[in-house]
Structure 1
Amino acid sequence: MKKRLNLTIVVIFLALGIHVVKAQRIIGPPSLTSGAQACGTLSNSFDFVAELSPGAALPASNQFILELSDPTGSFANGGEELLRVPGPNEASGGTSNITFMGVTVPQNAGSDDYRLRVTATEGNVTNTISEPIPFHFFDDDNLLIRLNSGDDIIFCNVASFAKEVAVEVTNGDDVLDANDFNWEWLKDGVIIPGENSPTLLITEEGTYQARVPVGLCNNVFRFNKSNRVDASLVSVGDISIVTDAPDFSFCPDELKELRASEIDFSYDYQWLKDDEPLEGEIGPTIILPDNDFGGEYTLQITLSEDCTLLTQSVIVTNEGSSITLPLPEGLILLPTQVLNLVIETDAPIGSVFRFIVDTNIQSQGVTTSQTLTFPAPFIGDYRIEIEADDPCNSFLVTETKVRAATRINIVIAPEEVVDCEQDPITIALAEMAGITADNESVPLTTEQFDFFDFEWFKDGVSTGETSLSLDVSRADSGGSFELRAIFRPEPGGTLDAVSNNLPIDFLSSDIVLDITPPVLEAGESVVLTAPLNVNFTYEWYVIQNGEEVLIEGETTNTLTVTEEGEYFARISTSLCTTDTLTASVGGPQALSELIPNVITPGGNAANNDWVLPNSFRETDVEVTIYSSNGKVDFQKNGGYNGDWPTNSASQANELIYYYIISRSNTVVKKGTITVMR
């Protein structure tokens, strides 16, 4: 009886043990539903699944949590929650799937050794840790990594080389700091140990690339790597200039093609003639023009910024002839004048020439000189033909139209681009032309200037100057200038001429705007005034966020202002443009900050000294005053207390001074001081 009782107890305990085992459910290791790595960006996510073993129901409120280990795969300090789901919690006689959909990769993730597990918030559940799963985050949207600006590295004809390359990172229009990223470098696809800065010194040939290391995700992300740059050390042989012609001697009407003996369109080319670059000739071949093609040609070949070659030069010979000094396109025949038409040619002496007026041959023969002169005593169409006695049998022609003038036009202008501070300004005869009956303008020759007497006038009054140029100094206060020409053979006739009127006004770079009233009251306005001159044009600007903004429609010498700000006028004369000093427009609170720009020394008890607002007495203020020639006239550190001009070097004996006020080594005010006695 006792044995049977013991057996019953054992069976009960075994049954209870079996029940306990069945009651505990096991969660298998989580895995990706697709792929083997979780390579995350801001725009993607991943799905994971884990198996739940059969067993009794779990509490309905139970949730399953997908957890991520630390980068080494350890859960010693717990796991990072990635996502939680509310089931399955029902009883099951078979395995169930716990599915986690739309899991995003943490932005600090960067290891191939992460592991996953699933935990339950309630119930008798054990979990299983996964094998390592790479988790990497890299935000590659709009990211561009460039190496060495995309250029290959080529050194030529040297024994060794060293070249530093750097990573450039941009995101759209923004330039990012490459030092904010981790880097690894590859040579021929193999990681270079120990190189992890954004620069690399290359001393060996090979193909180089930089990338942000993302472990097993390196082949998944598109933009974590730079372009590849090839580094090579080449021994370039003699590249020469060749042609398909028998030699480098050509006739003008022949095809004249030169080319490099070795052609590579990845190189940059530049052709030179007589050591001067030929504009637009940047290919490995060049076709020479029909005329003026003789000379010394070389070809510059740039393989990289570190490798530039220059070929041996070749001499191209023009076996033909040309007219080296042709007739001008048109000529004016003045009354009483006989023109001489002069041309120069390189055609061999003994070549046949013909001199034709309209359609009539005036003379013909063979040349005895390479300078030919023919008379042109009347108007008409003139033509000179030369049958050159050269290997190309060149036929040369030059033509001109000789016309009479109904009047003379004169233009005067400055001899050079004028700066507003320039003194003196030289003006001169810029153009003198005859106007024909059909209103065609034909320049006179300099020899024809001798038929005229010239005289300069200022504001309608003769200056007595009769040369072709005139110096106008600031001391003359400018004025309106013109040049008059009298045709000496027939004074008072239609060929007398008066030039354009050229106003000359001198401007300084320190024009101060008048502000009336000096303070902008609420609801009121102030008027800014620039010097008035009918010859000036005006534009007004306001400074906003450090930028000059044009105030549309304001073109007079005054501007009415209703808002506080910094304003200036841009003044243009017929010769130059300058900006006034900036005027600060402020409200009543700015009254105490106004800087005086005039003093009147001389014992009148008012404005004898240059007095600044109290805020400029502080110890961090420095005041420097310069004379008109740029010398320091006064300087005070540690606060200004009305010390100038009492303590100045010049005792204010000049008309204009310049000041700069700094606070803590930063310029806060600058302008001019006018001394009125």
Structure 2
Amino acid sequence: IYAVLSDSSELDVTADISSSFSYQWQKDGSAISGETAQNISLTDSNENGEYNIEGSLEGLSTTSNTLSVQLGSNETLAITSTSTVYCNSSDTIILSTSTNLTDENFAWEKDGTSINTTDSTLTVSEPGLYRLVVSKGECSLKSNEISISPLDADLIQLDVDGDIVFPEGSSKTVNASGGSSYRWLDANNIEIGTTSSYTFSEEGSYLLIANIDNCEVSRPLTVSYLDLFNIPNVITPNGDGANDQWVIPNSYSNKSDVNVIIYNARGAEILNATNYQNNWPESSTTFSKQNMVYYYVIKNATETLKQGTITVIK
């Protein structure tokens, strides 16, 4: 507010007379009830709009410029997911929010790009960074971000490489990592452990099922006893209880998939057995000579595992 002096110069007298004015704040062209001070305080996004103020003094009335006010919302927007890892190409994950999206202008975004503006929940089957954005006037209310990724089965790690081998009568503890839960099963699918580690004391086939989020990862395990001796090439079946029978390592005996064959010196087959019980020669077996040589072959369905000679000393 300027006063014009006698010499036609102007003097700013706003500070001197502003308190003498009567004021009325307006929003979107309408007077706001009770707002008659020089200042107005706005705290909620519901108050967004076009504001101006009208000032009156002794019959003089003037209106200010119009100011557009857009306050950000103090609401919070959160989304959740049924999982953060999809297990296979046909798997789906659902994103949702507890916020009521009815009559809201919103968009689901993937990696910053809008992909859905109509559904209150979002079904996804692709990796990416997802969030929900709700428009509030000129401002946007953005949710937390959820990263969706495909299953990486290699995250499940064991602290052993290959088969688990230890001497018969001892044990071996195997530790797993990378999962949220674990189940150890024996060959009969009986659960034998539910922690990240298991101590094996018997040979056989086992299965580890580990969970990553909602996905399952299976790791088959083979446990066998360490052979502490070689296949003998001499036996002395004299009934003294020592070295009377041809005893071979556990890797080959008592195995349904291992075939043990023994031939005499003329090439005639005298033993052909799977699940060999370390029981040759039996007590009823007779030998015509003092030192007789036999030949053995140990094989499975695809290859010969061992072969050699057995000398029987009487």
C-alpha distance in 2, partners of 1:57/1:103?
A: 26
Correspondence for 2:110 among 169, 187, 190: 187
Question: Which residue number corresponds to residue 191 of structure 2?
Answer: 277
Question: Which residue number corresponds to residue 257 of structure 1?
Answer: 173
Distance 1:232 1:139, change over 3 A: closer
Correspondence for 2:27 among 61, 68, 74: 68
Question: What is the letter of the counterpart of residue 316 of structure 1?
Answer: V
Asked if the contact 2:80/2:95 (under 8 Å) is kept, the reply is yes
Question: 1:34-433 alignment to 2 at 5 Å?
Answer: 54=14, 57=17, 60=20, 62-69=21-28, 78-79=29-30, 81=32, 84-86=35-37, 98-100=38-40, 102-105=41-44, 108-109=46-47, 114-120=49-55, 123-140=59-76, 145-149=78-82, 151-156=83-88, 158=89, 162-169=92-99, 177=100, 179=102, 183-188=106-111, 190-192=112-114, 194-214=116-136, 217-218=139-140, 225-233=142-150, 236=153, 243=160, 247-254=164-171, 256-260=172-176, 263-265=177-179, 267-274=180-187, 275-281=189-195, 283=196, 286-288=197-199, 293-305=202-214, 307-311=215-219, 313-317=220-224
Q: Deviations over 1:573-603 (max 9, x none)?
A: xxxxxxxxxxxxxxxxxxxxxxxxxxxxxxx
- Could you tell me the TM-score, scaled by structure 1's length? 0.28
Question: Which residue number corresponds to residue 438 of structure 1?
Answer: none
C-alpha distance in 1, partners of 2:137/2:168?
A: 68
Distance 1:271 1:179, change over 3 A: farther
C-alpha distance in 2, partners of 1:287/1:109?
A: 63
Asked if the contact 1:82/1:104 (under 8 Å) is kept, the reply is no
Distance 1:236 1:253, change over 3 A: closer
Question: Which residue number corresponds to residue 552 of structure 1?
Answer: none
Q: Deviations over 1:457-478 (max 9, x none)?
A: xxxxxxxxxxxxxxxxxxxxxx
Deviation at 1:120, TM superposition (A): 2.8
SS in 2 for 1:183: strand
Deviation at 1:295, TM superposition (A): 3.6
C-alpha distance in 1, partners of 2:69/2:217?
A: 54
| Runs of at least 5 residues in structure 2 that lack an aligned partner in the other structure | 228-240, 242-248, 251-314
Asked if the contact 1:243/1:257 (under 8 Å) is kept, the reply is no
C-alpha distance in 1, partners of 2:116/2:221?
A: 51
Deviation at 1:55, TM superposition (A): 8.5
Asked if the contact 1:243/1:258 (under 8 Å) is kept, the reply is yes
Deviation at 1:206, TM superposition (A): 1.0
Deviation at 1:196, TM superposition (A): 4.3
C-alpha distance in 2, partners of 1:309/1:316?
A: 19
C-alpha distance in 1, partners of 2:18/2:151?
A: 74
C-alpha distance in 2, partners of 1:153/1:162?
A: 9
C-alpha distance in 2, partners of 1:139/1:239?
A: 40
Distance 1:226 1:245, change over 3 A: same
SS in 2 for 1:65: strand
- Could you tell me the TM-score, scaled by structure 2's length? 0.53
Question: Which residue number corresponds to residue 429 of structure 1?
Answer: none
Question: What is the letter of the counterpart of residue 145 of structure 2?
Answer: R
Distance 1:251 1:118, change over 3 A: farther
Q: Deviations over 1:367-400 (max 9, x none)?
A: xxxxxxxxxxxxxxxxxxxxxxx99xxxxxxxxx
Asked if the contact 1:82/1:103 (under 8 Å) is kept, the reply is no
C-alpha distance in 2, partners of 1:120/1:83?
A: 15
Question: What is the letter of the counterpart of residue 277 of structure 1?
Answer: E
Q: Deviations over 1:421-460 (max 9, x none)?
A: xxxxxxxxxxxxxxxxxxxxxxxxxxxxxxxxxxxxxxxx
Asked if the contact 1:294/1:318 (under 8 Å) is kept, the reply is yes
Distance 1:269 1:81, change over 3 A: farther
SS in 2 for 1:135: coil
Deviation at 1:237, TM superposition (A): 6.2
Distance 1:197 1:277, change over 3 A: same
Asked if the contact 1:184/1:191 (under 8 Å) is kept, the reply is no
SS in 2 for 1:287: strand
| Aligned residue pair count | 223
Distance 1:129 1:237, change over 3 A: same
**Please, what is the CA RMSD of the aligned residues?**
4.5
Question: What is the letter of the counterpart of residue 146 of structure 1?
Answer: I
Deviation at 1:163, TM superposition (A): 3.8
C-alpha distance in 1, partners of 2:105/2:42?
A: 25
C-alpha distance in 1, partners of 2:226/2:64?
A: 94
Q: Tell which has more relative contact order, 1 or 2 (C-alpha 8 A, sep 6+).
A: 2
